[in-house]
Amino acid sequence: MPVGGPPLVVKFGGASLANPDKVVADIRALRRRSRDVVVVASARERVTDLLYEALEHPRSAAVHRRNLAEIRRRHPGLPLAGRQRLERLAGLFARLQATRAPDPPLADRVLSQGERLAVHWLSARLGEAGIPAVPVEADHLGLITDNAYGASCILFDRSRLAVQRGIGRILRRGALPVVTGYFGRSLEGRVATLGRGGSDYTAAGLGALLGSTRVELVKSHVAVLSADPRDVPEARAIPSLSFEEAEELAQFGARVLHPLTIEPARTHGMVVQVRSLDDPTLTTTIGPARAGRRNRAITVLRPLRLLRLRVPGGRQRPGIVAEVAQDLSGAGVNVVQLFTSSALLCLVLAPESVAAARRALAPMTRDSAVVVEGPFQVALVTAIGDGVLNDLDRLPADAVRGAEGFSATPRALSLAVPDRRAGTVVRALHDALVTREAP
């Protein structure tokens, strides 16, 4: 393990890498303050999107040529190892052209190239500035994940030893590891990505594996806001959040955090700071809950579809919820939200799952006279914050009107509303629970 106690893990998002001089200055300042620093890098801005586009056109040499040229242009001053990665990417594109549809591990291998290029590129910039940086590719390091390509989870017990050894070796030399975010090596030994925005999760995972007490996620000009500023212009940064609040926020669609990021932080008691590289006043600190603090944020998940099941006999039918859940999970349908009353069961689903859900429920409609209505176009608007259930009496009528369903826990209060009303509802809730409650 490192000499100077547990390292500080700092992740730089793709947009923040647009300004290498600022990133280098930031890292220099961090290294002055903390003895050991580990950097995690996302792909540079737009690079993952370009790789996705190439995968969507697996046979198109023209798209591949164009995107490869664009990716090359986004990495000026690549050292030799980085240029070799570019050549490898050209080879992967050629392989794509020879396959009809890439299998998920091959797709993940293509998607991982953005982060690989980023760590070679960033290490070179740091080296030029006199900081001895060592690029580290997480699969080679031994960051192990399950085999759920495209949305894999880090396997901590299987990764710990190799990660501690590999990172410790670099830190003991006084050097700076610059590790790829977003992917690891699956149990089958192939490349597996952690889902969009997965570099946050890599940073939290490495922090947990290295015994860190703090992880910093550096974005370009955002922290965690009380709403998406595209929906609510007066949204503001939330200075601090509990782990549980942050987890709900990420799950309910706040794009600023990858949904699995907070879990390793919470279980290891590690503080996560989200901060902006451009504006030092924009920071959010995520840590243990503190009594008496009131945070509220409004998120929206859309587009979604709602199916309404009328169940004759209602609750007198034992096991009906389990039966529905079983049929749906057997068909690979993920239920985003479930609202039930005595005779109604409302399922909120991703639009692309509706057809499979209807097929899976067909036997039940035939044999048990269950009636399926919909799909209705809905959005799921959620107010999040410890104690939010106490705000029920402040919900504006305008937010609740026409809602198709409602669910609440002490920390999250969700409304399924007609999709066309989503913007109105987000603003009404933000106004009632955030703006008007300002201290």
Binding site for ligand ASP (CB under 6 A): 14, 42-43, 48, 114, 181-182, 196-199
For ligand ASP, the closer of residues 182 and 243 by Cβ is 182
Rounded to 5°, angle at Cα 234 from 233 and 236:
115
For Mg ion, the closer of residues 14 and 105 by Cβ is 14
Take residue 90 and report the two structure tokens written for it.
């050209």
- 181 in contact with Mg ion (CB under 5 A): no
Taking the complex as a whole, the smallest distance from the CB of residue 274 to ligand ASP amounts, in Å, to 13
Is the distance from CB of 186 to CB of 146 less than 8 angstroms? yes
Q: Identify any residues that bridge with 275 across adjacent strands, giving them in sequence order.
A: 218, 283
Handedness of CA 131, 43, 140, 158 (dihedral sign): positive
For ligand ASP, the closer of residues 92 and 425 by Cβ is 92
181 binding partner (options Mg ion, ligand ASP, none; Cβ < 5 to 8 Å by kind): ligand ASP
Taking the complex as a whole, the smallest distance from the CB of residue 48 to Mg ion amounts, in Å, to 5
Is the distance from CB of 141 to CB of 102 less than 8 angstroms? no
- What distance in Å separates the CA atoms of residue 112 and residue 106, rounded to the nearest whole number? 10
For Mg ion, the closer of residues 204 and 370 by Cβ is 204
For ligand ASP, the closer of residues 38 and 320 by Cβ is 38
Taking the complex as a whole, the smallest distance from the CB of residue 23 to ligand ASP amounts, in Å, to 15
Among 2, 6, 14, 207, binds Mg ion (CB under 5 A): 14
Q: Which residue is nearest to ligand ASP (CB)?
A: 199
Taking the complex as a whole, the smallest distance from the CB of residue 243 to ligand ASP amounts, in Å, to 20
Taking the complex as a whole, the smallest distance from the CB of residue 193 to ligand ASP amounts, in Å, to 8
- What distance in Å separates the CA atoms of residue 264 and residue 203, rounded to the nearest whole number? 10
- Residues in Cβ contact with 223 at an 8 Å cutoff, skipping those fewer than 6 apart: 237, 238, 256, 274, 275, 276, 282, 283, 284
Q: Exposed, middle or buried: residue 32 (CB in 10 Å: 0-12, 13-18, 19+)? A: exposed
Q: Which residue is nearest to Mg ion (CB)?
A: 14
Taking the complex as a whole, the smallest distance from the CB of residue 184 to ligand ASP amounts, in Å, to 13
- Residues in Cβ contact with 315 at an 8 Å cutoff, skipping those fewer than 6 apart: 342, 343
Taking the complex as a whole, the smallest distance from the CB of residue 175 to Mg ion amounts, in Å, to 25
- 42 in contact with Mg ion (CB under 5 A): yes
Mode of pairing for the β-strands spanning 183-186 and 144-145: parallel
For ligand ASP, the closer of residues 203 and 381 by Cβ is 203
Taking the complex as a whole, the smallest distance from the CB of residue 181 to ligand ASP amounts, in Å, to 5
For ligand ASP, the closer of residues 93 and 339 by Cβ is 93
Is the distance from CB of 248 to CB of 384 less than 8 angstroms? yes
242 binding partner (options Mg ion, ligand ASP, none; Cβ < 5 to 8 Å by kind): none
Instruction: List Cα–Cα distances, 155 to 164, 167, 202, in angstroms.
Output: 14, 17, 11
Is the distance from CB of 204 to CB of 174 less than 8 angstroms? no
For ligand ASP, the closer of residues 191 and 422 by Cβ is 191
353 binding partner (options Mg ion, ligand ASP, none; Cβ < 5 to 8 Å by kind): none
For ligand ASP, the closer of residues 149 and 182 by Cβ is 182
Could you give the dihedral angle defined by the CA atoms of residues 394, 396, 402 and 405, in that order, rounded to the nearest 10 degrees?
A: -20
Taking the complex as a whole, the smallest distance from the CB of residue 183 to ligand ASP amounts, in Å, to 8
Residue range at the interface with Mg ion (CB under 5 A); choices 13-21, 98-106, 116-124, 430-438: 13-21
Is the distance from CB of 370 to CB of 361 less than 8 angstroms? yes
- 198 in contact with Mg ion (CB under 5 A): no
Provide the greatest CA pair distance for the chain. Answer: 74
Is the distance from CB of 304 to CB of 348 less than 8 angstroms? yes
259 binding partner (options ligand ASP, Mg ion, none; Cβ < 5 to 8 Å by kind): none
Q: Which positions lie near Mg ion, rule CB under 5 A? A: 14, 42-43, 48
